[in-house]
Amino acid sequence: IMQAAPNTQRAVPKIKQAAVIGAGVMGAAIAGHLANVGIRTTLLDIVPRELSDKEKAKGLTLEDRAVRNRLAQAGKDRLQKEKPSPLYHKRVADLITVGNLEDDLDRLKEADWIIEAVVENLQIKQSLFSQIEKVWTPGTVVSSNTSGISIEKMVSGCSEDFRSHFLGTHFFNPPRYMKLLEIIPTSDTKPEIVDEMKAFAESVLGKGVVLAKDTPNFIANRIGVYGLLITLQKMMEEGLGPDEVDAVTGRAMGRPKSATFRTLDLVGLDTFVHVADNVRENVDDPEEQKAFEVPEVLRKMVANGWLGTKSDQGFFKKV
């Protein structure tokens, strides 16, 4: 943990407009939380490579706007359906406009804060940031919601000016309800950007901020993922099923929403595997590498498309 700066006199940045890239589990919900506090937000995702059966039946093509914006629109639609609701009122969803990265990259110029929440993969994030830099307006803060990939490496190919406005802002799932926000500066991040984002997150987003160092998985996931892996391993060894484990680790402990396997389903099993792999690949201690090994059964579930809540099948069906 880095020492938090003493209460600063600096102004909270005037973030009137934001952009979130990646409309999955986290991106859409972060956009929802920004809308909850009155911030206009552009939500972008990639263009789907194939038409869905419904789109084919409607005679749509890959060129149609509805198809090109499908992933971002699906993210926005989920905000209306999920429970507990990511939105404090249905109407706030009107503050979110959707688009796609190919056609709407220029819209990032309107944003005072750009948040990246795409798949947990260093190469994909690096190439996205070099794309973002091309339309970046100096002064705009850019951050990543990565669960634990090195913040510095993500922007190693970008200019010094861009890097000085870049940091990690790690929200927890679900972002409307989880109070913690890890802020991860690099040695290039301007101190005033860190102070401003901290003040903004606390006073506008209602978060409790912890400043973390840019180490694999930062603080909460370094501990949390380790705990989940141990539970998973032990329970499999002892032949217990997800229901039994969750009965003990959830309701019985007074934490019905954070039972072990329900948490894994909510996080996304694919994302969880990426996050565990990230520590194993980036720590030197062989003991720690061993501790972050992912059980084969989890990799098989992901390979079969069992991704958790987002695919309606994880440890639980239709969770």
CB atoms within 10 A of CB 59: 8
Residue 310 within binding range of ligand NAD, rule CB under 6 A? yes
Minimum CB distance to ligand NAD, residue 71 (Å): 5
Residue 24 within binding range of ligand NAD, rule CB under 6 A? yes
Residue 214 within binding range of ligand NAD, rule CB under 6 A? no
Minimum CB distance to ligand NAD, residue 33 (Å): 13
Residue 268 within binding range of ligand NAD, rule CB under 6 A? yes
Q: At what angle do helices 242-249 and 220-237 cross, to 10 degrees?
A: 130
Minimum CB distance to ligand NAD, residue 14 (Å): 26
| Strand, coil or helix: 209 | strand
Which DSSP helix (H) or strand (E) runs through 16?
Answer: none
- For residues 17 and 43, the answer to whether their CB atoms sit within 8 Å is no
Q: What are the tokens at 305?
A: 């498309």
Q: Which stretch binds ligand NAD (CB under 6 A): 89-97, 112-120, 151-159, 201-209?
A: 112-120
Site string for ligand NAD, 273-292 (x = CB under 6 A): --x-----------------
Residue 154 within binding range of ligand NAD, rule CB under 6 A? no
Minimum CB distance to ligand NAD, residue 181 (Å): 10
* Distance from C-alpha of 47 to C-alpha of 68, rounded to nearest angstrom: 5
Query: Is the Cβ of residue 78 or residue 190 nearer to ligand NAD in the bound state?
Result: 78
SS (H, E, C) 213-227: CCCCCCCHHHHHHHH
Upstream peptide bond of 174 is cis (omega within 30 degrees of 0)? yes
Upstream peptide bond of 191 is cis (omega within 30 degrees of 0)? no
- For residues 170 and 147, the answer to whether their CB atoms sit within 8 Å is yes
Q: Which stretch binds ligand NAD (CB under 6 A): 144-152, 233-241, 250-258, 291-299?
A: 144-152
Residue 196 within binding range of ligand NAD, rule CB under 6 A? no
Footprint of ligand NAD (CB under 6 A):
22-27, 45-46, 71, 101, 117-120, 124, 128, 145-147, 171-173, 267-268, 271, 275, 310
